[in-house]
Amino acid sequence: MNSEFIERSWQSPDGLELYFRDYAGDDTGKVPVVCLHGLTRNSRDFDALAPHIATLGHRVIVPDMRGRGQSAYAEDSASYAVPTYIADVMALFEQERMKRFISIGTSMGGLMTMLIAQFTPDRIAGAVINDIGPVVDPQGIDKIKTYLGKGGSFPTWMHAARSLEEVHGDSHPTFDTKDWIRMAKRSMTLCNNGRIAFDYDMKIADPFNEADENAVPPDLWPGFEALAGKPLVLVRGALSTILSEETLAEMQRRAPGADIVVVPNAGHAPTLDEPEVRSAIDALLGKVG
């Protein structure tokens, strides 16, 4: 057990044991916060933000989605889909008796937040949507397909960091070696054979790669609009290939009260550790109370 959080688990509706970090906070009157990671990521993405929020009194729940981090891998790769992830976290909320929460969602976690808002709007007291919108730029999808599920392993953290920089350097042009090593340690793990590898089930790529490119995407605007009247922070990396300027402008039009933060020299996705993002999150927490 880490001194800052308790390592806990819950069971998915189809019987998988899933993992989450539980940061206690010290004010039971404050609305709890749920941090939802991106497609290939895990709870470690929030290892700086979550304890900061806990120091403000909020309990913070940070799950590993199925197939990531310390959560079990699914036998059926078709279950690696946003509706299943939402059913999984709903089971977590039921276990923890969480009727209302603030959602902080990066990329896939932001899609989950919008869909939860669409079907159970009263659950979400406020939200941070990080570098994702109801319309996903096809350029970004093409980029994800170049690396998703490709595997590979590395002999040292330095090798792992350099590999990440080769793939994602255009998204984080100001990162130095220390930043890339930090990203590697958030997204990879030391395996039993002494090699370092990505900390997710490579089969999460299956539904992504098998999706019909000609299919009409689901309409996510109703979910976003369900958030529009709540305290809301919209984060975009200025170099993002996932959230276009046009989509962000339309989100701002439909949610005029939202706080917009565009992070310079960042693509997909900002880390949420940037000072301007942290300030916006703190302000949102203050609005919700």
Q: 53, 227, 50, 25: which is closest to 123 by C-alpha?
A: 227
CA 92 to chain centroid, in Å, comes to 16
Question: Is 90 exceeded by the pLDDT of residue 130?
Answer: yes
**pLDDT tens-digit map of 206-261:** 988 887 666 767 889 999 999 999 999 999 999 999 999 999 999 999 999 999 99
- What average pLDDT does range 6-13 have in this prediction? 98
Which pLDDT score, from 0 to 100, does residue 227 have? Answer: 97
Burial 5-24 (b: 16+ CB within 10 A, else e): beebbbebeeebebbbbbbe
Is the predicted pLDDT of residue 275 greater than 60, yes or no?
Answer: yes
166 Cβ contact partners less than 8 Å away, ≥ 6 residues apart = none
Neighbouring residues of 182: CB distance < 8 A, sequence distance ≥ 6: none
Q: CB 172: neighbour CB atoms within 10 A? A: 22
Q: What is the pLDDT of residues 161-209, one digit of tens each?
A: 999 999 999 999 999 999 999 999 999 999 999 999 999 999 999 988 8
In this predicted structure, the answer to whether residue 71 has a pLDDT above a threshold of 60 is: yes
Tokens for 147, please give them. 């690396």
Q: Residue 267 in 3-state DSSP?
A: coil
